[in-house]
Amino acid sequence: MAKKWRWHGGPLVDTNNIANIPTGNHRHVLDASVERAGIWFGFNVTNDHDLLKLIVIDNDEGNMSRLPRLRSSSPDRTLHDRDAGPSLPSRTINHITTRGSLKRKAIPEEDEDDQGPSQPRKVAAVGSSKPNRPLLPSRTATNLGASTRSGVPKPTSKPPPKLARGTSAPPSNAKPLSRSTIGTRAAANRVVSGSKAIGNGPRTAEDKRFHELQSQLSTIEAARAADAARLAADMEAERAKVAELQSNHLTLSRELADAKSQEIVQRRELVHFSDEIESMRKTHAREVMDLELDIKKRDREIRELKEDLRECRSDLDRERDTVTALKNTLSQQSTTQLTLSTQNQALEARSQALQSQLDAHTRTISELMLKLETADKEVEDMKKEKMESELIRRKLHNMVQELKGNIRVFCRVRPVLPSDLATYGSTLSSGSSPGTSSGADLEKAKEELQASFFFPDSRDHKEIVVASSSSSATGQERKEVYNFGFDRVFEPQSTQLEVFEEISQLAQSCIDGYNVCIFAYGQTGSGKSFTMEGGLTDTTMGMIPRAVEQVFKGAADMKSRGWEYKMEGQFLEIYNETINDLLGKGEFDKKKHEIKHDLKTMSTRVTDVEVVPLSSPSQVKSLLSIAHSRRSVAATLMNERSSRSHSVFTLRISGVNVGFDGCAGTGEKCEGSLNLVDLAGSERLNVSFGNGVEKERVRETQSINKSLSALGDVIAALGEKGEKGDKHIPYRNSKLTYLLQNSLSGNSKTLMILNLSPLAAHLQESLTSLRFATKVNNTTIGTARKHAKLS
């Protein structure tokens, strides 16, 4: 019959496998209880193998009274026998608990079949406050211990006597009990056996019983001592096991430490892997971002491609239209081509005809080429002839100049000006002013103002006649007529161009390498500046710009004869015997300039003056305006400087014959100069300023007269030299003559233009000038020489 039992708080256990009861936690193996045939047994297990302590629960008198009833059903059997469970060692049934130390335990899961409905349920009183304490065997325990079977150690004492129902005698083989337990047990036995004692009652029987019990007690104590020794051995074994367990624990701790270190390593690896995963995640995010950008870019490209595709399609459509149109055109062209082919054939025929014509022309061209070569040779020969003829021309030109005389004098009378009417208006017969007079009145007034100049030589224009009337000392009017002859006389109505035409040959002489000097001589206001510089228009332009223009023109013409020229200009002023540079920037009358002559080349240089290279005639106009403005700055209201100083414009020209148009040049060189001199007014001192004139004006006039007188002396000396041979020429007597030394000597061509005022008021001064000019005109200066040399 299988019975189930359980540990406190544990599962039900089959009693047949009691030997295999799991020990589990020691706390759980302390107590267990089982009910067999209405009797509850408590167990105390001390180890996992064999130390099962069987405790017979003896809870109270009522319960105890059941034991006999329980055993009455099988009085000779022990609990183990009846249950056929594992045999329990007698030593495990240490003691039977007293009534007060046991507890009732409810076992609700107990098998109802094993107990039967008639058997009362007992609550197991298992364990005490000290569960490991060995229990004293009860009478029942004793019986149980006696019934131990195989596998359970036999008790050391003899088996306890079987307990019969109602028997009060203690089991003979029971283990020793503690005195208190024994006492209690004895009391219990006394209670159990009380019914018999009451029945038998002799005192001796009790004593005997007592002695028996004492002997049993001794036996039990001996057994207990043996058990204690055994327990000590067991304890030792247990300690060994504990030590082994501790060593195992140590090993396990080390393993645990190793496992922890491995865990740390693994954690680090984990962190490392986490970092890697994080970086991979970031990389992945970047890649995703790049991919998104790429996708956007691709989308954009797709859109663009779509747009391109659309445009291509539209282009394609257009092209298709074009192709269609072209096909149409092609068909038209095919038709046209046929027409053209026909025309082409006609043209080819014509081409052949033209080709034959071309051949004929080619032959003609060859013939013409031959003729051209012949003509070129002829041209070459003609050029050479031309150059030779040029040399002849120049010789002839100079011969003509020489025949004319190397010093010539022109006379020019200016017209009466409206300003003259204003100045000398008091002489107007009508008394009217020039502004309000009629043309006839003006003409009449002009006639009244005019001196009596006559020009009898209407063919050659070489004579001028001056008629004057003066009162004699007796009061009689004396009429005088003066006749003067010059190389050319210009009447008041003569133009600048007419004057220049007469002197332009001198410009050509300059180009040919001669020194040319043109003076303008006359009293103040006679028209010297007008003649030399003139106005700004082409009509009023004076001799200086015209001569320069002529020189440039002549130089350009000479280019075809193999000549190349360089030109440069300077503009000086001689005031009070001091040289000033009219093109310079220095202050007037301050700088000292020296005159240097080169007798070899017959050229003159002035130190520290501005010499301007000239490349065009227009430059000369600007030079004249610069000089004019500088003179204006230097002038004062009281001192009209231009009237009181000599101005000398010099154009130097140097040429070399380098050949022309493949024709080799002769290498001939020449240097010439053109000096255009505007002399200061030639009026006499007493006439101009009277006796009360300022010192400065007197000095000016004196220096002017001195220089003009020196000029006359030089010219006179030159004339004498021509007649008598060697003679000293006083060039150094004035700055003017010294400056013009090379232009006045026998190697130069000199022209003096005598300017006369037409006014009767200036008649005496005009007569003086006419006499001076006649003197000059009668002078013959040697033969002019060209300054040329062959290199």
- State the residues that interact with ligand ATP by CB under 6 A: 414-415, 417, 522, 524-530, 642-643, 681, 755
H-run or E-run covering 685: helix 685-688
- Which C-beta is closer to ligand ATP: that of 526 or that of 675? 526
Which two structure tokens, joined as six digits, stand for 125?
A: 């009183």
- Which C-beta is closer to ligand ATP: that of 197 or that of 417? 417
Shortest reach from residue 511's CB to ligand ATP, in Å:
27
Q: Who contacts 712 (Cβ-Cβ below 8 Å, separation ≥6)? A: 772, 775, 776
764 assigned ligand-binding residue: no
Tokens 């989308």 locate to 299
Distance CA 787, CA 671 (A): 6
Kindly report the number of other CB atoms within 10 A of residue 386's CB atom.
Answer: 17
- Which C-beta is closer to ligand ATP: that of 147 or that of 526? 526
- Which C-beta is closer to ligand ATP: that of 526 or that of 779? 526
Distance CA 197, CA 207 (A): 12
Distance CA 17, CA 85 (A): 7
What DSSP string runs through 446-483?
HHHHB-EEE---TTT--EEEEEEEEE-TTS-EEEEEEE
Distance CA 300, CA 323 (A): 33
Q: Are strands 463-471 and 452-454 parallel, antiparallel or unpaired?
A: antiparallel
Shortest reach from residue 594's CB to ligand ATP, in Å:
27
Shortest reach from residue 755's CB to ligand ATP, in Å:
6
Shortest reach from residue 548's CB to ligand ATP, in Å:
19
522 assigned ligand-binding residue: yes
- Which C-beta is closer to ligand ATP: that of 5 or that of 500? 500
Measured at the CA of 309, the angle between CA 306 and CA 312, to 5 degrees, comes to: 155
Shortest reach from residue 736's CB to ligand ATP, in Å:
15
Per-state percent for the chain, helix, strand, coil, to nearest 5 = 50, 15, 30
Shortest reach from residue 499's CB to ligand ATP, in Å:
9
Q: Are 707 and 735 in contact (CB under 8 A)?
A: yes
H-run or E-run covering 719: helix 695-724
Q: Who contacts 134 (Cβ-Cβ below 8 Å, separation ≥6)? A: 53, 94, 95, 224, 227
- Which C-beta is closer to ligand ATP: that of 185 or that of 412? 412
172 assigned ligand-binding residue: no
Shortest reach from residue 520's CB to ligand ATP, in Å:
7
- Three-state SS letters, 226-261: HHHHHHHHHHHHHHHHHHHHHHHHHHHHHHHHHHHH
Q: Are strands 668-678 and 515-522 parallel, antiparallel or unpaired?
A: parallel
Shortest reach from residue 441's CB to ligand ATP, in Å:
20
- Which C-beta is closer to ligand ATP: that of 151 or that of 535? 535
Q: CA separation (Å) from 165 to 67, 73, 184?
A: 8, 10, 20
Shortest reach from residue 493's CB to ligand ATP, in Å:
9
- Which C-beta is closer to ligand ATP: that of 538 or that of 608? 538
Shortest reach from residue 416's CB to ligand ATP, in Å:
9
Shortest reach from residue 526's CB to ligand ATP, in Å:
4
SS3 377: helix
- Which C-beta is closer to ligand ATP: that of 150 or that of 537? 537
What DSSP string runs through 25-88?
STTTTS-EEEEETTEEEEEEE-SSSS-EEEEE---SHHHHHHHHHHHHHSTT--HHHHHT----
Which two structure tokens, joined as six digits, stand for 105?
A: 């335990």
- Which C-beta is closer to ligand ATP: that of 21 or that of 532? 532
- Which C-beta is closer to ligand ATP: that of 161 or that of 545? 545
Shortest reach from residue 417's CB to ligand ATP, in Å:
5
Shortest reach from residue 679's CB to ligand ATP, in Å:
8
Q: Who contacts 608 (Cβ-Cβ below 8 Å, separation ≥6)? A: 581, 584, 591, 592, 593, 594
- Which C-beta is closer to ligand ATP: that of 162 or that of 414? 414
Q: Are 406 and 782 in contact (CB under 8 A)?
A: yes
Does residue 734 come out as left (phi exceeding 0), alpha (psi in the -120 to 50 range) or beta? beta
Q: Who contacts 677 (Cβ-Cβ below 8 Å, separation ≥6)? A: 517, 518, 519, 520, 532, 646, 647, 648, 649, 736, 740
Shortest reach from residue 591's CB to ligand ATP, in Å:
24
Selection from 720, 767, 723 nearest residue 481 by Cα:
767
528 assigned ligand-binding residue: yes
What DSSP string runs through 194-205?
HHHHHHS--HHH
Does residue 445 come out as left (phi exceeding 0), alpha (psi in the -120 to 50 range) or beta? alpha
- Which C-beta is closer to ligand ATP: that of 164 or that of 635? 635
- Which C-beta is closer to ligand ATP: that of 289 or that of 633? 633
Shortest reach from residue 406's CB to ligand ATP, in Å:
25
Q: Facing residues of 751 across strands?
A: 408, 518
- Which C-beta is closer to ligand ATP: that of 114 or that of 765? 765
523 assigned ligand-binding residue: yes
Distance CA 210, CA 193 (A): 13
Measured at the CA of 212, the angle between CA 210 and CA 216, to 5 degrees, comes to: 115
262 assigned ligand-binding residue: no
Distance CA 755, CA 745 (A): 23
CB-nearest residue to ligand ATP = 527
| Residues annotated in a binding site for ATP | 522-529
| Residues annotated in a binding site | 522-529
